[in-house]
Amino acid sequence: MEKTSSVTQTKKIKSAFTVKNLVLIAMFGALAAVLMLFEFPLPFLAPSFYELDLSEIPVLIGTFMMGPVAGVLIETVKILIKLLLKPTSTAFVGELANFCVGCALVVPAGIIYRTHKTKKRAVIGLCTGTLAMALAAVILNTYVMLPFYTTAFHMPLDAIIGAGTEIIPFVNSTFTFMLFCVAPFNIIKGVLTSLVVVLCYKRISILLRS
């Protein structure tokens, strides 16, 4: 039984490397990289240095078409092309965080949708992925991003939390900053991305079934 399951998983991974899929992965990755360049803040929710982009839309569509392995590959292509278009300003830490948070969204969504390709499963997958992305963002910001910014850019942690306090008075610690700023910010990103994907679902359903 374990051998059969292993063979099935191997076939799924190999299916992501067909010529057609590699072309699609490159195409979706390039589109995602371009979208990643267009960022905008949510000043009512988080400090201006947190900017939202919709680069996960093509990544999710590609993931639904070709599976979660392809989704990770598209995320990789997205980051590599973005670095060619716009060099890193965070010593690659921001790009790494974006990759990890993106994978946290698309991998659960892709796995859930892959088991039964229906609109209902797509919505469940997107909701699960959005929550996973918010959790990943909180963990990465707590243990990677904030320590990096405080060290590399000499930004006191109190100043970062204070920027959150100016927007939301309840913010007075790292925990509340994550709870009221970082988590909602990423949930909104996931919801906006998911809405676009759901609205496109009928138009791309033929591709998704192929």
Task: Quote the CA–CA distance of 71 and 61 in Å, as a whole number.
Answer: 9
Mean pLDDT over 125-150 rounds to 94
Question: What span, in angstroms and rounded, lies between the C-alpha atoms of 25 and 70?
Answer: 7
State the pTM of this model.
0.87
* 41-55 pLDDT tens trace: 999 999 888 899 999
* Among the ranges given (52-56, 117-121, 170-174), the one the predictor scored with the smallest mean pLDDT: 117-121
- Residues 15-40: tens digit of each pLDDT: 567 888 899 999 999 999 999 999 99
| Residue 66 DSSP class | H
Q: Which distant-in-sequence residues (6+ apart) come within 8 Å of 202 by Cβ?
A: none
pLDDT score of 3 more than 60 = no
pLDDT of residue 34: 96
Q: In b/e form, how buried is each residue of 158-173, taking b as 16+ CB within 10 angstroms? A: eebbebbbebbeebee
Give pLDDT, residue 155. 83
Please compute the mean of the pLDDT values over residues 164-192 and round it to a whole number: 95
